Amino acid sequence: EAEAEVHDEL
């Protein structure tokens, strides 16, 4: 289950 990657962009 690909964990939703953290959004590191503004």
Partner 1 sequence: MNIFRLAGDMTHLMSILVLLLKIYATKSCSGISLKTQELYALVFLTRYLDLFTDFISVYNTVMKLVFIGSSLAIVWCMRMHRTVKRSYDGQLDTFRHYFLVAACFLSALIVHEKFTFQEIFWAFSIYLEAVAILPQLVLLQRSGNVDNLTGQYVFFLGAYRALYILNWIYRYFTEQHFSRWIACISGLVQTALYADFFYYYFISWKNNSKLQLPA
The Cα 10–Cα 3 span in angstroms is: 20
For the bound state, the minimum distance from the C-beta of residue 9 to partner 1, rounded and expressed in Å, comes to 7
Distance in angstroms (rounded) separating the CA atoms of residues 3 and 1: 6
In the complex, least distance from residue 1 CB atom to partner 1, rounded to whole angstroms:
9
- Minimum Å distance from CB 2 to partner 1? 8
Chain positions contacting partner 1, by CB under 8 A: 4, 6-10
